[in-house]
Structure 1
Amino acid sequence: MTISEAIQSFPGLSDVSEDYLTKVLTDRSVTGTASYTLDVKADAELCAADLYMAIVASPDFSEGKFSLKYPRGYLLSMARSLYENNGEAANASKVAIGKSTALKKWW
């Protein structure tokens, strides 16, 4: 299994475009065609976390009766966990999961 294949095996990442996967791999100086081993596990997980963050920022899609919504809370918690488990506490602290509150009443 290659590093790219390992990343795409994460839940929700199988449909990520090859171009964007290549961009994330390049940004992290990871060779996607290299064999996936325990030595590169952290790199693969950090790339997956970056992809989760990108998906969260993507808009929902709908056309006719078809719609695609992303489980943003799940994706954010996965990204935070992957960042924390691989020594990137600074990135993990940037991942905000919570409810928004209205500044004033609407009625």
Structure 2
Amino acid sequence: MDYAAPQQVSLAETMPTRRDVWEQLVAKYDLVETPFDELVGWGVGDFLFHQEADNITSTVKVRQAGFADALDTGTRLPQLFGGLIDKRILPPTLRPETHGI
């Protein structure tokens, strides 16, 4: 099967058209009513995912300044998402451990 080249999609333009999906999830799972416009800064996602060059950063300076703590993304993100699920901000079907995360 032939496949198409990747296409960039603007989250800031696309996601507001899916407001109805969020409202359905809020109703279905009795979530805390969070205004769709306050959920996520979609423009930040556009910035992060549409870089023309690789973003290479170093943590040497912050570690030299005394900020030595480090958190493992694979551990921390499920904790954060789990907390949002426990507070009824995200639906329980997104619980990370049920998706192998």
Query: TM-score, normalised to structure 1's length?
Result: 0.30
**Higher percent of residues as helix:** 2
**Higher percent of residues as strand:** 1
Query: TM-score, normalised to structure 2's length?
Result: 0.32
> Of the two, which has the highest radius of gyration?
2
